[in-house]
A and B are shown apart, each in its own frame.
Chain A
Amino acid sequence: MNMKWDDHGIKSPLARAKGLGAAGSHAVDAWIKLRVTAIANAILLIWFIWFLSQVIGVSHAEFIERLADPRNAIAMILLVISTFTHAVLGCREIVEDYIHCEFFKISKLVGMYLFFFALATVCIFSILKIAFIAGV
């Protein structure tokens, strides 16, 4: 089989080396997404601390009422999307750096993606349920 790095045709050494790093060919995309979600997280963290200061120690009914406020529900969904994306990309960077066996690396990445997307979906569903049921 002719592998990418065996191809000595017209390609420059750079063209042959591109995409062969630990992160594959999507490294730039992942790098940018990690930074964008980092900025989003930093902004949303300020809201999150304020929100926690409002709900720590309150009853379930009052917590539901606070979270059902559309402004809070939307901010919480944004926080979930941004945080989970940042978490999965951050973990991916670590896995790609430290797990060198291709099989374990891919298995770990697939498992991580399935787990985080499931958790994030559960979070968003819970927020929407609270917002739609308690918010009307």
Chain B
Amino acid sequence: MSDTPIAEHSPKKRPLSPHLQVYKPQMTSVTSILHRLTGVALTVGLVMFTWWLVAASIGAEAYGVFTDFAGSNIGLLLMFSWTLALFYHFANGIRHLIWDSGKLFKIENAYAAGYFVFAVTALFTALTWYCILNKMGGL
């Protein structure tokens, strides 16, 4: 146990309980952290969502400024990231709701559902952007 981290500044030099950095990433911890991360990212997205509605309510010129930004490289990159975050948060949120109902707690089930969440995220994001680019005449 020589590499057990020790609380240097505490008066008794007690060993610290294992923290995030000593764990190997697991499906359960990674999906949980990503859930919070995507949640926060989507919250930031609400600012652009508000801009969208406000611009539309002001008039054609303001709406044009918004759509120009949304169609720019930065705008597209942001919206692609938010699409990814949204579908991940959606799929993993349903996984959480199933956990809340007391099911899927067996470790192999939790892992299978985790891979399923990643698959759904990738598939839905790809499908959405295929449709968007198709509609915009980009393909």
* Residues in A lying within 8 Å of B, measured CB to CB: 35, 38-39, 41-42, 45, 49, 53, 56-57, 59-61, 63-64, 67, 76, 83-84, 87, 90-91, 94, 116, 119, 122-123, 125-127, 129-130
Contact = CB atoms under 8 A, between A and B. Distances in A.
Q: What range describes how many residues of B lie at the interface? A: 20 to 34
Contacts of A126: 53-54, 56-57
Contacts of B26: none
Given A119-B50, A122-B50, A64 B56 contact: yes
Interface centre among B40, B47, B53, B86 (most CB of A within 10 A): B53
Contacts of B128: 49
B54 A90 contact: no
B53 A56 contact: no
B97 interface: yes
Most buried by B among A39, A59, A126: A126
A59 B97 CA distance: 39
A123 B96 CA distance: 29
Given A90-B39, A122-B54, A38 B49 contact: no
A91 B94 contact: no
Given A56-B136, A84-B46, A130 B56 contact: yes
B87 to A, nearest CB: 9
B54 A42 contact: no
A108 B135 CA distance: 42
A37 to B, nearest CB: 10
Which 5 residue pairs across A and B have the least CB separation, nearest first? A126-B57, A60-B60, A126-B53, A60-B63, A87-B43
Given A38-B97, A94-B36, A122-B54, A83 B59 contact: no
Nearest to B87: A45
Given A90-B40, A91-B43, A123-B53, 14 more contacts: A35-B100, A42-B94, A56-B136, A60-B56, A60-B60, A61-B60, A63-B63, A83-B46, A87-B42, A90-B39, A91-B39, A94-B39, A119-B46, A126-B54
